[in-house]
Amino acid sequence: MNTPAPLPPLEILLVICQIFILVYFSVLNLSYALLTYFGFRYIARFNQQLSPLMLNNLLQLNIYKPISLLVPAYNEEKTIIASVRSFLSLHYPEFEVIVVSDGSKDRTIDVLIEAYQLYEVGDQLPYHENIVCQDILRAFRSRTYSNLIVLEKKNGGKADALNAALKYSRHDLVCAVDADSVLDVEALVRTARMFVEDETVIAVGGTIRPLNGSVVENGQLLQLRLPKSWIERVQVIEYCRAFFTGRAGWAEIDAMLIISGAFGVFSRQAMLEIGGYNTSTVGEDIELVVRLHKKFRQAKVPYRILFCPDPLCWTEVPDSFRVLRRQRNRWQRGLFETLWSHRDMTFNPRYGRMGMISMPFAWLFDAFSPIIEIIGYIFIPISFAFGILDFEFAALFLLLVVIYGIMLSYMSLGIEVMMQNRYPRLEDRVTLMLVTLTEFIYFRQILLWERFIALFQVWRKRGQWGAMERKGLK
């Protein structure tokens, strides 16, 4: 009987790599499929809970938790007037808007002073002393809107600006929003309701959707349209996946790791207890949520962090690869910085599902995925050269990767059709399905490479944002 000759060490290594990549791919895709299923269940249950009719009846009773909107702004002179107008026109019985100009070098403060008739209030405003931020240079109130406060401070980054706003917030709930975002008029109503119905809720993340191509008037979204360019359309699908598969899926198993910085509502008390945002990371949104989990788990206080599937916030997404790469680079660094600084939570049963499922998943399938995928791309020709990989097999495997990715996107798009139906025209649906087919050709590889590079820039670029160019709402 012939026994096969033993393989040389390099080939053994390649074989092990092959098996690892295959298992990695299988587990990753199965997890995404499972998360989509969980996400669907979460959204279906959410939709059954409270009808709009009943919600309106209850709102007439005027029972609510007042909210402070925290709006950090840096060089936003083009968009700030429309954004603040959109925030001030939200349907909610009691809220205040705190805009913080974080050392803007353009006319952000000047345009606000003119548009909202601001006057300086000196040091009259009370504040929470345990929140630290860069010096506040001037504080303003508005003659036309009693619920508008504007702060001008030294530049300290987005997290520092959010801390400044948090420091001056008066209400039980605080809502962090990006200055360039447009909120749905019912955004606060829907999210604040989740705090009313369950007193253990400490944070609620909302669904963010791309705004590009839509018609916005007076800071309100009038008509949702698909963006014109391919790169923006691909991001519509990405956001569908991120929110209906990612956020909703994790929320279903009570292990949500991220609340988007563009829109999130938090219990002010919980925020004050953890000292507000961490200013040393560019991923202040994910870091905040991880720290909230950590704090409440350690204190053994029952708490919940939820996701609101209603489309609450519309944001301008990058329309060029240059800006998109910069954004994804920052996201990847923010994720890695957070996971690294809270690495003690990983595989730590003290932190429950967060420690045992969410954190390991984020390490393996989000933080390190660029390295593994890039190795996979490099590995195929090498294995082929060594004759340990069948060409047909490699080609079929790549085909499987693409088809499975498309299928996962369709699963998320299906949830959008069933539950949200925000693109009512059939041609929009068909367009999105066709765009999904092309996502894997160029878009994915470019972003993969950027995320790969970002991993090597984590320490060198710690805390650096990079400029985001705004076109301004049309």
Partner 1 sequence: MWRREGERAYELILLLIVLFSVISFFVLATDFAMRTVGGQSWLPLGRSLELAILIAGASGAALAFYITVYHILSLIYWRRHQAELLSWRVRWAQLLVTNAPSLPDDLPPAAITTLIQFMQVVDSSANLAALIGDKTRDSWLRKLTRGSTAQKLTTLEQISATGLNDFLPVTLAMMTHPASAVRGAAAHCSAALVGAMPPGDARLTAIGQFAYVLNRSNLPKLIFQEALLLTKEAAPRLIACVLVFPHIDIKIAQAALEAAGRLGLVDLAPLIARYLKHHDENVRCAAVKALAQLRYVPPRFYLTVQLLAVDPHIETRIAALHALVYVYDPVSFQLMARAADRHDSRWVRAAAKELLKKTVGGSAGPRRAVQSGA
Residue 58 near residue 46 (C-beta atoms within 8 A): no
Query: CA-to-CA distance for 176 and 316, rounded, in angstroms?
Result: 17
With binding defined as CB under 8 A, does residue 41 bind partner 1?
yes
Q: Is 196 in the site for partner 1 (CB under 8 A)?
A: yes
Choices 196-204, 227-235, 271-279, 325-333 (CB under 8 A): range interacting with partner 1 = 196-204
Give the one residue of 51, 89, 155, 298 binding partner 1; rule: CB under 8 A.
Answer: 51
From the list 49-57, 206-214, 235-243, 298-306, the region that binds partner 1 by CB under 8 A is 49-57
CA-derived radius of gyration, the chain: 23
The least distance separating partner 1 from the CB of residue 286, rounded to whole angstroms, comes to 27
Under rule CB under 8 A, residue 65 binds partner 1: yes
For residue 146, which of 86, 71, 92, 94 has the smallest C-alpha distance? 94
CA within 13 Å, CB half, 215: 2
167: CB partners within 8 A, 6+ apart: 127, 128, 131, 133, 276
Per CB under 8 A, the segment of 45-53, 255-263, 279-287, 322-330 that binds partner 1 is: 45-53
Strands (E), 224-368: 263-267, 304-315
Q: How many residues sit close enough to partner 1 to count as binding (CB under 8 A)?
A: 61
Using the rule CB under 8 A, which residue among 29, 147, 220, 457 binds partner 1?
29
Tokens of 344: 């003690």
Q: How far is the CB of 328 from partner 1 (least distance, A)?
A: 25
Task: Say if residues 368 and 358 touch (Cβ distance below 8 Å).
Answer: no
Position among 23, 121, 137, 301 found at the interface with partner 1 (CB under 8 A): 23
Among 2, 9, 129, 322, binds partner 1 (CB under 8 A): 129
Tell me if 61 contacts partner 1 by CB under 8 A.
yes
- By beta-carbon proximity to partner 1, the closer residue of 312 and 389 is 389
SS3 category, 201: strand
Nearest to 444 by CA among 237, 249, 207: 237
CB of 154 to partner 1, least distance (A): 21
Contact between 125 and partner 1 (CB under 8 A)? Answer: yes
Rounded CA gap, 247 and 345, in Å? 20
Determine the interface stretch with partner 1 among 55-63, 114-122, 296-304, 347-355 (rule: CB under 8 A): 55-63
Out of 381, 430, 456, 472, the residue judged to bind partner 1 by CB under 8 A: 430
Residue 174 tokens read as 């605080």
365 near partner 1, judged by CB under 8 A: no
33 counts as binding partner 1 under rule CB under 8 A = yes
The DSSP bridge pattern shows strands 148-153 and 182-183 to be unpaired
Options 58, 115, 242, 356; binder of partner 1; rule CB under 8 A = 58
Does 93 interact with partner 1 (rule: CB under 8 A)?
no
- Min separation Cβ 377 and partner 1, Å: 18
**In this structure, what token pair is assigned to residue 36?**
């989509």
Q: Which of 94, 114, 199, 469 binds partner 1 (CB under 8 A)?
A: 199
Closer to partner 1 by CB, 54 or 301: give it. Answer: 54
Q: Does 22 bind partner 1 (CB under 8 A)?
A: yes
Q: CB of 69 within 8 A of CB of 170?
A: no
* Cα–Cα dist 329/283, whole Å: 11
Choose, by CB under 8 A, the member of 1, 2, 63, 299 that binds partner 1: 63
Residue 18 engages partner 1 in binding (rule: CB under 8 A)? yes
How many residues belong to the chain?
474
SS3 at position 118:
strand
By the rule CB under 8 A, 403 interacts with partner 1: yes
Stretch that binds partner 1, among 284-292, 333-341, 360-368, 390-398 (CB under 8 A): 390-398
Q: What is the DSSP letter of 264?
A: E
Question: Which of 390, 459, 471, 472 lies at the binding interface for partner 1 (CB under 8 A)?
Answer: 390
* Cα dihedral: 412, 418, 419, 420 (round 10): 80
* Cβ-based nearer residue to partner 1, 34 or 137: 34
Please report the DSSP string for 282-323 in residue order.
S-HHHHHHHHHHHHHHHHT---EEEEEEEEEEEEPPP-SHHH
C-alpha dihedral (49, 52, 53, 57), degrees to nearest 10? 90
d(CA 181, CA 16): 47
Q: Torsion angle of alpha carbons 136, 142, 143, 144, nearest 10°?
A: 170
Total Cβ atoms within 10 A of residue 92: 18
Range 409-428, binding partner 1 (CB under 8 A): 410-411, 413-415, 417-419, 426
Return the range that interacts with partner 1 (CB under 8 A); candidates 86-94, 123-131, 346-354, 449-457.
Answer: 123-131
* Binding residues for partner 1 (CB under 8 A): 4, 15, 18-19, 22-23, 26, 29-30, 33-34, 36-37, 40-41, 44, 48-51, 53-54, 58, 61-65, 124-127, 129, 196-199, 388, 390, 392-393, 396-397, 399-400, 403-404, 406-407, 410-411, 413-415, 417-419, 426, 429-430, 433
